[in-house]
Copies of this chain bind each other. A is one copy, B any other.
Amino acid sequence: MSLLVVGSVAFDAIETPFGKTDKIVGGAATYISIASSYFTKNVNLIAVVGGDFPKSDIKMLEDHGINTKGLQIKESEKTFFWSGKYHNDMNSRDTLVTELNVLGDFDPVVPESYQDCEYLMLGNLAPKVQSTLIKRLKKRPKLIVMDTMNFWMDIALDDLKETLGLVDVLSINDEEARQLSKEYSLVKAAKKIMAMGPKVLVIKKGEHGALLFNNEQVFFAPALPLEEVFDPTGAGDTFAGGFIGYIASTGDTSFENMKRAIIYGSGLASFCVEKFGVERIVNLSDKELEERIQDFVDLVQFEIQFE
Q: A297 contacts which of B217, B226, B290, B304 (Cβ < 8 Å)?
A: B304
User: For chain A residues 172-211, which have a beta carbon within 8 Å of chain B?
Assistant: 184-188, 205, 208-209, 211
Given A219-B300, A220-B299, A184:B89 Cβ within 8 A? yes
- A244 to B187 CA separation, bound complex (whole angstroms): 30
Least Cβ–Cβ distance between A72 and chain B, in angstroms: 38
* Nearest-Cβ distance from residue A228 to partner chain B, whole angstroms: 6
B260 with A218: CB separation less than 8 A = no
Q: In the complex, are the beta carbons of A299 and B225 less than 8 A apart?
A: no
Contact of A260 among B88, B299, B302 (CB under 8 A): B302
Which of B220, B298, B300 contacts A217 (CB under 8 A)? Answer: B298
CB of A175, distance to nearest CB on chain B (Å): 12
**Number of residues of chain A lying within 8 A (CB) of chain B:** 37
Closest to A295 in B: B218
Residues of B within 8 Å of A297, CB to CB, are 304
Chain B proximity of A18: nearest CB distance (Å):
12
A263 is an interface residue with CB less than 8 A from chain B: yes
Residues of B within 8 A of A228 (CB): 185, 188
Contacts of A263 in B (CB 8 A): 302, 304
Residues on the B chain within 8 Å of A304, using CB: 260, 263, 293, 297
